[in-house]
Amino acid sequence: MRSTRNALWLVCIAGAVGIAAPVTLVLWVIWEQTIIAEEDRLIRLSEDLAAQTEQAIVDARNLLARLNEQTVEPCSQSHLLKLQNEALSRPHVRAIGYWQAAERLCGAGLVQGQRLTPERASRIYDSGVIAWWPGPATTAGDVALFLMRFGNHDIAIDPRLLITPGQLDGKQVALWVEGLKMSAFPENGVFPSPNELPEGLLVDRAGNRIVSRVSLGSLFPIEVVALQDLDDFWNRNRTLIIGIVGIGLALMLVWLALLWRYLSRQLSLEAALRSAIDSGRVHAVYQPVVELDTGRCVGAEVLGRWTEKNGDTVSPEIFVPLAERAGMGTRLTLTILEDLLEHLADWPEDDQTVYHLNLTEDDLTRPQFSQRLQERLDHHGVAAQRIALEITERALLDSERIRHRVMELRKRGHSIAIDDFGTGFSSLAYLQKFELDTLKVDKTFVDSLQTEAVTSRVIQPIIDLARALNLEVIAEGIETGEQVTWLASRKVKYGQGYWYSPPLDGPAFKDWYLERKQ
C-alpha cells in the first residue's frame, strides 16, 4: 500500500539523516579544532614577530638617546668607531648617521654617505623622535628602510630582517606598526589592509587562501596579517580530514546500501504479493483433518499457496507475515476464503466437513473481515458452522475489542481454534477469558513424541488441560503411525499431517476425501 511505501522511505531517510548527523558533527568538530589549532599557530607567530619588531624599535630609540648624550667630538675617529660598532652588532641595522639639521655629516653602515631625506615624516613624537615608515622615499638600493631620527643621530633599519622567513612555515606575513605597513614577506606580496579584516581567521575561498589578522599592542599597536594558501592548509591537515570524511562516507554508504537492499527486497516482494493476490495466483489448498480412531476425514485446514507463473511456490511462512506487515492480511484471508467458497460449491449439500481458516491479526483488529465473512457466506449459502476460524495465541493477547469480535464470530456459529498452541505465550489466562472450541497442538510437540527431548513431556499436560477446559484437540504434523497410536491412546480425537496427506489443491482434496469415504 502507498502509506507503507512512504513509511519505508521515511525510515530510509531517517536512517540516512541518523548517520549523517553524527558524521557531520564529528567533521565540524574536527574542522573547528583544525581552525583553532591554526589560529593558535598564527597568534604565536604574530606575537613573536610583534615582539621582535617592538624590541628593535625600542632598542633603536634607546641607542639614539645614548648616542646623543655622549660627549665625544662629533665625527671624530672614536665617534665613528662607536657608530660602526653599534651598527654591526645589530643585524637589522643598515646605517647610523650623525646629522646637523638636514645635513648628514658622517656615519657608519651600508648606506654610508647616502643621505635619505624623505619629504614627510610618518610620525613626529612629542619626545622629539621622528620616524619614517618604509616607502619609496626611504629606499636605498632596493631596500625600503625604516628610518628613525632623534636629535642629531638617525638609524636605518632593514624591516625585512624583522621577519625571519624560517619561522613563517610557508606563510606570507605582513606587519603593521601604528597602522602603517612596516614589513612583509615576501616583500612584493599583496596583503589586505588590517582595517578591512576581522580579527582572527578568515577563509577566503575566492583567493584560495586563509587570511588571519592578529592585533597586539604593548608599547604601540602592532598588527600582523598572515596569508596561507588553502592548498598548504589542506596539505597540512589532509590526512586527518580525508580520513574522517572517508570513514564517514564509508559508514554512510554501507548503511544506505544495507537499508536499500532490505527495503527494496521488501518492497519488491510486497509488490509481487499484491499482484499475485490480484491476479489469482494465491489460492487455497487443503490439508485433511482426520479422526484418529476411525481414520475418517472430518474436514481440512485451508492454507494459502502462492504459485508463480513459472511454477515456483513461495512458502506461507514468508508471505503471510509479509502480507501482515504490508497491511494486506485481510485481503489475503478473503482471497483464500473466496477460493474455499468456490470449492465448496462443487460439494454435495449435505456434506458436513469443517474447514479451518487461518486468520491474521488484521482480521481481528479491524471490523472489515468480520463483515465480509458474513457477506461472502450468505452469498454462497454456506453455514458458519462449516468454517472454523484459527487464531494464533499472539492475536488473543490483545484487547477487549478482539475478545468481543471473537465472541461475536463464535455466536454466528464459527468454532474457534487456537493455532500452534504452546508456541506462543506462556500465560494461559486467555483460555479463561475467551470462549474457545479447539486446541491445535503444534507440530513441535508431536515431533518430540518418543524422543528424549524436553518437549516430549509437555504434550500430555496440554491434552489434560484441553480436556479440563472441555476443548477438542487436533494434533498437527503427524508423520508416523506410532504417533497416531500414541495420540489415540491419549484420547486425542483429531489429527493432521503428512502421515495422512500433504496439503492438496481443491480437486485433489475432493478425490482424496471421496476415496477415504468409501
Partner 1 sequence: MNHRYHRLPWPLLLLMTVMGSGCTMPEPPPPRSAEPPAARQAPQTLAVIGSDADIESRRRALARTDDAVDPEAAGYFMDVFRARIKRDLADTGIAVDYRDQAILVTFPGQIGFEFGSAQLTAEAAVLVNLLGTILAEYRATLIVISGHTDDVGDPEFNRRLSESRARSVAQHLANMGINQARLMVRGFGSDRPIAENASEAGRARNRRVELMLQLLVRDPILQPDKPESA
What would the grid cell of residue 510 be? 475432493
Residue 130 binds to partner 1 (criterion: CB under 8 A): yes
Among 1, 7, 124, 468, binds partner 1 (CB under 8 A): 124
- How far, in Å, CA of 338 to CA of 99, rounded? 120
Q: Cα dist. 176→131, 156, 229, 373, 455 in Å?
A: 14, 17, 21, 91, 90
First and final C-alpha spacing in the chain: 48
Residue 129 binds to partner 1 (criterion: CB under 8 A): yes
Residue (of 239, 226, 220) closest to 54 by Cα position: 220
Residue 382 binds to partner 1 (criterion: CB under 8 A): no
Among 121, 168, 245, 303, binds partner 1 (CB under 8 A): 121
The β-bridge partners of 154 are: 97, 149
| Residue 127 or 279 having the CB closest to partner 1 | 127
CA 223, distance to chain mean position in Å, is 45
- How far, in Å, CA of 149 to CA of 61, rounded? 8
We find the least distance from the C-beta atom of residue 73 to partner 1, in angstroms, to be 10
> For the window 205-244, what string marks contact with partner 1 as x by the rule CB under 8 A?
----------------------------------------
Binding segment (CB under 8 A) for partner 1, from list 112-120, 188-196, 204-212, 461-469: 112-120
We find the least distance from the C-beta atom of residue 105 to partner 1, in angstroms, to be 9
Residue (of 446, 442, 454) closest to 486 by Cα position: 446
Residue 66 binds to partner 1 (criterion: CB under 8 A): no
> For the window 143-162, what string marks contact with partner 1 as x by the rule CB under 8 A?
------x-x-----------
CA 329, distance to chain mean position in Å, is 33
| Residue 117 or 368 having the CB closest to partner 1 | 117
- How far, in Å, CA of 440 to CA of 301, rounded? 11
We find the least distance from the C-beta atom of residue 104 to partner 1, in angstroms, to be 10
We find the least distance from the C-beta atom of residue 156 to partner 1, in angstroms, to be 14
| Residue 15 or 74 having the CB closest to partner 1 | 74
- How far, in Å, CA of 4 to CA of 329, rounded? 13
Residue 127 binds to partner 1 (criterion: CB under 8 A): yes
We find the least distance from the C-beta atom of residue 223 to partner 1, in angstroms, to be 25
| Residue 128 or 321 having the CB closest to partner 1 | 128
| Residue 117 or 193 having the CB closest to partner 1 | 117
Among 2, 101, 294, 345, binds partner 1 (CB under 8 A): 101
Among 98, 99, 191, 421, binds partner 1 (CB under 8 A): 99
**Which distant-in-sequence residues (6+ apart) come within 8 Å of 19 by Cβ?**
251, 252, 255, 256
We find the least distance from the C-beta atom of residue 54 to partner 1, in angstroms, to be 21
- How far, in Å, CA of 417 to CA of 321, rounded? 20
- Exposure of 389 in the CB half-sphere (CA atoms within 13 A): 30
The amino acid at residue 401 is R
Binding segment (CB under 8 A) for partner 1, from list 114-122, 191-199, 383-391, 462-470: 114-122
Residue 119 binds to partner 1 (criterion: CB under 8 A): yes
Residue 69 binds to partner 1 (criterion: CB under 8 A): no
- How far, in Å, CA of 182 to CA of 325, rounded? 76
Residue 458 binds to partner 1 (criterion: CB under 8 A): no
- Torsions phi, psi of 138, nearest 5? -105, 15
We find the least distance from the C-beta atom of residue 130 to partner 1, in angstroms, to be 5
Report the SS3 class of residue 503.
Answer: coil
Residue 120 binds to partner 1 (criterion: CB under 8 A): yes
Residue (of 328, 458, 436, 334) closest to 392 by Cα position: 436
- Torsions phi, psi of 247, nearest 5? -60, -45
| Residue 154 or 447 having the CB closest to partner 1 | 154
CA 136, distance to chain mean position in Å, is 60
Residue 115 binds to partner 1 (criterion: CB under 8 A): yes
Contacts to partner 1 by CB under 8 A: 74, 99-102, 115, 117-121, 124-130, 149, 151
